[in-house]
Amino acid sequence: MKLILLGPPGAGKGTQATRLTEKFGIPQLSTGDMLRAAVKAGTPVGQQAKAVMDSGGLVSDEIVVGIIADRMEEPDARKGFILDGFPRTVAQAEALDAMLAKKGMKLDSIVELKVDENALLARIENRARETVAAGGTVRADDNPEAFKKRLEAYRVQTAPVSDYYASKGVLKVIDGMAPIDAVTKALDKALGV
């Protein structure tokens, strides 16, 4: 199974992707996680990406397409993957199409988690609180100022990605405001499993 989860920051893509990973035994390819790992490791990509990530902006298409292309080459991604946080621009979606065509691969599903934007900041604040309670480190961009910019980036650059897939007739939309288990059920239905 090869699928894309779309939706704004805080929509629950990560939570649902983790569940799908367990269910199907395929990896979750989260560009955000990969970039955070690069920042932590201090790689050249991490050094380039850190400031823009912290402020809530988008890292360049070139960098992100490069890391996802490398990741898709790894053996565990051969039988399938869940893309989480990628593609985030139409240019990335086009680059993904080209990458998949070259590999003779096809996406099975593209699902958008539709959420009420007014609820998102509260979800992000909740995630930060839960992280602190679990003794973890809060993401540098999980604060109201960076979040505003992340939402703006979503509206301007990522919402057109949904239109891109909708115009091809391959976008499924589910209600991401429902409780987590109900979203999982709706997702299973959308995926036909």
- Give min distance, CB of 49 to ligand AMP, in A: 7
Our answer to whether residue 78 is catalytic in this structure is no
- Give min distance, CB of 15 to ligand AMP, in A: 12
Catalytic residue among 36, 50, 71, 150: 150
Catalytic residue among 2, 36, 71, 88: 88
Our answer to whether residue 155 is catalytic in this structure is no
Q: Given the rule CB under 6 A, which residues bind ligand AMP?
A: 9, 31-32, 35, 52-53, 56-59, 64, 85-86, 88, 92, 141, 150
CA angle 59/180/182 to nearest 5° reads 125
Our answer to whether residue 19 is catalytic in this structure is no
| 71 within 8 A of 34, measured Cβ to Cβ | yes
Q: Closest CB to ligand AMP among 134 and 192?
A: 134
Paired with 81 in beta bridges are 2
Our answer to whether residue 129 is catalytic in this structure is no
CA angle 121/2/98 to nearest 5° reads 95
The beta-strand segments (E) located in 21-92 are: 28-30, 81-84
Catalytic residue among 2, 13, 50, 71: 13
- The DSSP output letter for 66 is H
Amino acid at 11: A
- Give min distance, CB of 192 to ligand AMP, in A: 26
Q: Closest CB to ligand AMP among 134 and 189?
A: 134
Residue with the shortest CB distance to ligand AMP: 32
Helices and strands: H and E segment counts in the chain: 9, 5
* Structure tokens that stand for 51 in this block: 């400031």
Instruction: For residues 40 and 9, give the distance between their C-alpha atoms in angstroms, rounded to a whole number.
Output: 21
Look at residues 1, 40, 49 and name the one whose alpha carbon lies nearest to residue 23.
1
- Give min distance, CB of 53 to ligand AMP, in A: 4
Q: Closest CB to ligand AMP among 53 and 183?
A: 53
Q: Closest CB to ligand AMP among 68 and 187?
A: 68
Q: What residues are labeled active site? A: 13, 88, 127, 139, 150
